Amino acid sequence: MTGHIALLLIDKEGDVFLKASTTRPDIALAHDEVLLKDYSENTGIIEPLQRAGVIGPELRVDFCPVHKLLLSVPPVV
């Protein structure tokens, strides 16, 4: 378990349409950061997430792009 945020896009039936995030146990992320999978079936996902106000600009690249999550996320206890 990495403690990373899972960013899932859910369709109107409640099914997972796309898993936008990925995890890597060797990459440390802040509580409000998300590691985005921007390749394969997720190619092009970053721009729509930014336009929707879900993520901010790219902070850095650690295997995949790291973005600040702009949505409120309660701390994991």
7-64 residue pLDDT tens: 999 999 999 999 999 988 899 999 889 999 999 999 999 999 999 999 999 999 988 9
Question: What residues does each domain of the chain span?
Answer: 8-69
Q: Which of the 8 DSSP states describes residue 4?
A: P
Q: What is the pTM of this model?
A: 0.84
Please state the separation of Cα 60 from the chain's center in Å.
13
49 membership: H or E segment, kind and range = helix 46-51
- Of the pLDDT bands very low, low, confident and very high (cuts 50, 70, 90), residue 76 is low
